[in-house]
Amino acid sequence: MSTRHGTALVTGASSGIGAAYAGRLASHGWDTVLVARRGQRLDDLAQRLREGTGTVVETLVADLSEPGDLARVTRRAAAGDDIGFLLNNAGINGYGPFAGLEPELMTKILDLNVLAVTALTRAAVPGMLERGRGTLVNVASQLAFAGALPPHPLPERAVYGGTKGYVVTFTRTLAAELAGTPLRIQVLCPGLTATEFHRSRGDEPVPGRNQSVHEDGGMPVDQVVDASLAALDTGEVVCVPGLEDPAPVDSLAEAELAIRTAARRGGS
C-alpha cells in the first residue's frame, strides 16, 4: 500500500470486513469516512482509530438502502478532492426460499447490494480520474460463482447471489473500461468469513455494541484484508481470498470469450 495520505470512504464499517479494512487503511496513514447503520459502533471504531493512528476519522450513520441516506453519502463521496479509496462493503443477504422472500427485504437487498454500490462508484470515480489516482474495491462474494449449485450446505440465495454476480460483472467490466488509467479496481470475493454476517438476514442490524462471530466460523477477516491488499499491489481485478492458483479466474475469462465467439459465428 502507498503511504500517501488521502481519505478512504468505507461502507459497512461497523463490523467485519469493513471495520478491519478501515483499521488497516488508517494504520497506513489514510484518513477515513466510516459509513454504517450503527452509530455507536462507528463512534467506538472512530475513537480507536484516532487514538491508535492519529488519523482524521469522520462518521456517517446511514442506511444505504434508504434513498435519502444514499444521496447524503453519495454527495460525500463526490465532494471535494479527498476520496482516494472507496470500499463498497455494505451488504445484506436475505437468505431464504425465493418464493417466501418478503418483497420489502428483496427491495432492500437490491438497493443496498446493487444500487448503492453503483451510485457510490459513480460518485467517486470521476474525481479519482481527474486527480490521476484512486482505488476502488467492491466486495462481492464467492457465492457470485455458485449459481448452479443447489442449496444445503450453501444457503438459499437467489437474490443475494444475483446481486453479487452483478457486483462481479460490474467491477470487471469497469476495470476493463478504465484499463490504462492510474486507477486500481478490484472485486473482492470472500467465502465464508468469521464475522456476524450470518447472524442477521439484513432487515435489521445485529444488536449490541461489540462485534460477534456467527457460529459457522470461516476465514479470519484480517486474512481477507491481507488478500485484498496483496491483490491490489499485483493488479489483480478479481480477488478470491484463499485461491492460490489464478487458473479458475483465467478460465472464466476464456470461457466468456469462447461463448461470445461461438455466438457471433452462430449469428453470421
Residues identified as active-site: 160
Helix (H) or strand (E) holding 84: strand 83-88
**Dihedral-angle region of residue 29 (phi above 0 means left; psi in -120 to 50 means alpha; beta otherwise):** left
3-state secondary structure of 127: helix
Task: Scan for cell 467492491, then name that residue.
Answer: 138
Helix (H) or strand (E) holding 174: helix 158-177
Whether residue 207 is preceded by a cis peptide bond, meaning omega within 30 degrees of 0, is: no
CB 34 within 8 A of CB 57: yes
3-state secondary structure of 70: helix
